[in-house]
Structure 1
Amino acid sequence: MKIFLLEDDFSLNKVIKNSLQNKGFFVESYTDGYKAIDVVINSKYDLYILDVNVLGFDGHKVLEVIRSEDKDVPVIMISAEIDIENIKKSYSLGCNDHIKKPFDFEELYLKIQYLFSHKISEEVTEKVDLGYEFAFDLQEEKLYKHEHEIDLTLKEKHLLTLLVKNINNTVTNEMIHEYVWDSKEMEAVSMRSIVHKLKKKLKNGMIINLRGVGYKLIYQK
């Protein structure tokens, strides 16, 4: 997952960036709105974390630019402001969530997990090409090879759905726990078992293990 972070407090910026990277995310961070606007216009990210009060264009202006280009990408606003009107503005401009500073990193991480795990692509109407003559129907959660359906268990369907939605990006163990097991109690061996079974139904090397972090579904043209 590629995350854009705008936070003008250098110390907090570093803490958030390092913490997210330790969770397996790819993070690009910025401290001023002028640079942020330039990057947002010319690049795409899977999620944006925006501080409201920054130098140059503030977080609200950056949010406006993001929404002018993409109505669905998740955006989390962070601010020390307690003014309810400021919070209302964030939501009226289209943010998905708002966190008041100071906050615990786990709170931010839980919100990111939720947004990623529940993000459904409404634009997908066809099978997703996975390479090696495999395809996956996201709406029906069905795996095909040479147009022949491959049987999947319910949890294999959920896991592959999550991996396909995040193709070529890291899916953390926590994201899998949330999405496939609905955060219910499970043993680590259960996750490894489902991943192993799914790997056997795909070509060797399509799903790679990122030790201690999670997994990634690789697609190469």
Structure 2
Amino acid sequence: MKILLLEDDHNLNKIIKVSLEKKGFFIDSFIDGYKAVDKILNDSYDLYILDVNVLGFDGHKTLEFIRQKDINTPVIMISAKIDIENIKKSYNLGCNDYIKKPFDFEELYLRIEYHLSHLNLEKTSELQKDLGNNFSFDLIEQRLYKHKHEIDLTVKEKLLLTLFSKNINNTVTNEMIHEYVWSSKEMQTVSMRSVIHKLKQKLKSGMIINLRGVGYKLIK
């Protein structure tokens, strides 16, 4: 799962980023709201964590921008501001949660798990995504299983399989893969083909099909 973090305290930003990466999440972190919004324009995320009190383009403005683009993705606000007006403004702009600083990291992690689980339950009615052919993929833990045996995945393979799992039997375009797996960064076509080829080898033959010139499809 991909998370965007906006926190202008360098030390706290680093602590949250490293801690969440140890939990298996993929984090793009920013201390500048303008740079965060520029990234949001060209990428997609599964959850946002926004500090309210950021100089310039602050957390509230970033939240407002996100909701203009996407009304469903969970947004957690974090702030040392505990007055009711800031909390009310955050919820009125569409946040899903508001955590007051200082907070325990485990509290943040539990709330992330809750919101991702709730979202996935609404979208897929299950956290363990059935891929067919005795394969399943845990969308939260980013783990691929055949029966109960776990199959190791690289970082890029996890991101790619997350995208496929959310779009079973539907076309995943090359542009969608470029945006989600490579965060729209420059890459060579051979890199995408290489990752897809390696993922195909870990699944049953024929589960991922190539739609020439368009993209790919995971067939259940």
TM-score bin (small chain): 0.5 to 0.7
1:120 is displaced (CA, Å) by 3.4
Match of 2:147 among 197, 200, 213: 197
The superposition leaves residues 86-107 of structure 1 with CA deviations (integer Å, 9 ceiling, x where unpaired) of: 0011011111100000001000
The superposition leaves residues 127-181 of structure 1 with CA deviations (integer Å, 9 ceiling, x where unpaired) of: xxxxxxxxxxx45999586xxxx7x8xxx9xxx4x63xx3xxx6168xxxxxxxx
CA RMSD of aligned residues (A): 3.2
1:81 is displaced (CA, Å) by 0.3
Instruction: Look up the match of 2:62.
Output: 62
Contact persistence 1:77–1:95 (CA under 8 A): yes
Structure 1 stretches lacking a partner, 5+ long:
125-137, 174-194, 200-206
CA distance in 2, matches of 1:118, 1:209: 26
Contact persistence 1:4–1:28 (CA under 8 A): yes
Taking structure 1 as reference, are residues 87 and 198 closer, same or farther at Cα in structure 2, changes over 3 Å only? same
Aligned residue identity for 1:29: S
Aligned residue identity for 2:8: D
Instruction: Look up the match of 2:51.
Output: 51
CA distance in 1, matches of 2:37, 2:93: 16
CA distance in 2, matches of 1:50, 1:119: 18
Taking structure 1 as reference, are residues 217 and 76 closer, same or farther at Cα in structure 2, changes over 3 Å only? same
SS in 2 for 1:171: coil
Aligned residue identity for 1:209: D
- What is the 5 A alignment of 1:164-179? 166=139, 171=141
CA distance in 2, matches of 1:17, 1:100: 18
1:2 is displaced (CA, Å) by 0.7
**TM-score with structure 2 setting the length:** 0.63
Indicate whether 1:208 and 2:151 are aligned: yes
SS in 2 for 1:20: helix
Instruction: Look up the match of 1:5.
Output: 5
Q: How many residues align?
A: 160
The superposition leaves residues 30-53 of structure 1 with CA deviations (integer Å, 9 ceiling, x where unpaired) of: 001121121122221111000001
1:55 is displaced (CA, Å) by 1.4
Taking structure 1 as reference, are residues 121 and 65 closer, same or farther at Cα in structure 2, changes over 3 Å only? farther
Taking structure 1 as reference, are residues 61 and 28 closer, same or farther at Cα in structure 2, changes over 3 Å only? same
CA distance in 2, matches of 1:142, 1:13: 32
Structure 2 stretches lacking a partner, 5+ long:
165-195, 197-215
Taking structure 1 as reference, are residues 41 and 121 closer, same or farther at Cα in structure 2, changes over 3 Å only? farther
CA distance in 2, matches of 1:40, 1:101: 25
**TM-score with structure 1 setting the length:** 0.62
Indicate whether 1:33 and 2:33 are aligned: yes
